[in-house]
Amino acid sequence: MNQSATSATQKTSPMSNSPRTVKFLASILAGDPLNLIEAIRIAERAGADMISLDVSDGHFVPTISFGEDVVRRTVESTSLPVEVHLMVSRPDDWIERMDGCGHAQMLFHLEASSRAMGVVNAIRQKGVKPGVALNLETPISAVAPMLPYIDSVCLMGIVPGFAGQKLMDTTYRRVSELRELIDQSGSAVTITVDGGVKAHNAVQLVDAGAHCLVMSSGIYGATDPEASLREIRARL
């Protein structure tokens, strides 16, 4: 069963006074790399709305994580939708490599391409929802021209590549700035925060305007991973 409809948290936006849904993505990067199926099952039992797969190439970021086989097998192994977060230098190559893997959405880093709109179109042509991820130092304004063409913007709360880092304080202001830009544009683009999301900062991120939160060590490093999302939802 797709749990996204049942487990997402309803919250009233302080900006719009209308109900909105906060979605949680479980990034299995901090799960056991030799037991990814268990990481997927933990995400399901915890009530995650989506699985996030961080694909890194050892170039855009220093780490190497998952390739297309893991994406395909993850999609085959769960009823949760799967997001691919490309942390790679040549996103076009990876769009082709992952063609047909069944992922629902794909993010690439704005910093990784000089032809970002071409990458957006290439993802969309594969029947996948395109999104853009922004590193900490990339101005929010850089994404403004792309809002009509993408489904989501992911703001990194950390330097990408590694799970377990602390959320940078500038993230709250960046989320607010992006939310204002999106609301003013009348766009339906959603804001995701990835990196450093924990129980103690989730409320503030949602209050700042985030629609979706990615968590890895907050789930897989928790004493009781399956309780981790329940505790956060209860706070929201």
For residue 141, the one-letter residue type is: S
Least separation in angstroms between residue 58's CB and ligand DX5 is 13
Closest CA to 211 of 230, 188, 227: 188
Instruction: Work out whether the CA dihedral 32, 97, 213, 58 comes out positive or negative.
Output: positive
Give me the residue label for tokens 């202001």. 173
The residue within the footprint of ligand DX5, chosen from 215, 222, 229, 232 (CB under 6 A), is: 215
Query: Number of residues in contact with ligand DX5, rule: CB under 6 A?
Result: 22
Closer residue to ligand DX5 (CB): 17 or 169? 169
Q: Is 196 in the site for ligand DX5 (CB under 6 A)?
A: yes
Q: Is 216 in the site for ligand DX5 (CB under 6 A)?
A: yes
Taking the CA atoms of the chain, what radius of gyration do you get in angstroms? 16
Q: Check if 54 is active-site.
A: yes
CB atoms near residue 129 (< 10 Å)? 17
The residue within the footprint of ligand DX5, chosen from 104, 164, 187, 199 (CB under 6 A), is: 164
Give me the residue label for tokens 């968590």. 215
- Active-site choice (49, 54, 57, 151): 54
Q: Could you say which residues in the range 51-80 bind ligand DX5, by CB under 6 A?
A: 52, 54
- Active-site choice (49, 57, 151, 194): 194
**Separation of CA 24 from chain center:** 9
Closer residue to ligand DX5 (CB): 145 or 200? 200
Q: Is 192 in the site for ligand DX5 (CB under 6 A)?
A: no
Residue 109's contacts (CB-CB under 8 Å, 6 or more residues apart) are 60, 86, 87, 88, 91, 132, 133, 134, 135, 160
Least separation in angstroms between residue 5's CB and ligand DX5 is 23
Q: Could you say which residues in the range 12-51 bind ligand DX5, by CB under 6 A?
A: 27, 29-30
Q: Check if 224 is active-site.
A: no
Instruction: Work out whether the CA dihedral 10, 185, 208, 192 comes out positive or negative.
Output: positive
The values of phi and psi at residue 83, to 5°, are -105, 135
The residue within the footprint of ligand DX5, chosen from 101, 119, 134, 197 (CB under 6 A), is: 197
Give the containing element (helix H, strand E) for 134. strand 129-134
Span interacting with ligand DX5, options 4-12, 108-116, 136-144, 212-220, rule CB under 6 A: 212-220
H runs (alpha helix) in 84-224: 91-97, 116-125, 170-185, 199-208, 217-220
Closer residue to ligand DX5 (CB): 15 or 90? 90
Least separation in angstroms between residue 28's CB and ligand DX5 is 8
What residue ranges bind ligand DX5 (CB under 6 A)?
27, 29-30, 52, 54, 85, 87, 158, 160-161, 163-165, 194-197, 214-218
Q: Which amino acids are annotated catalytic?
A: 54, 194
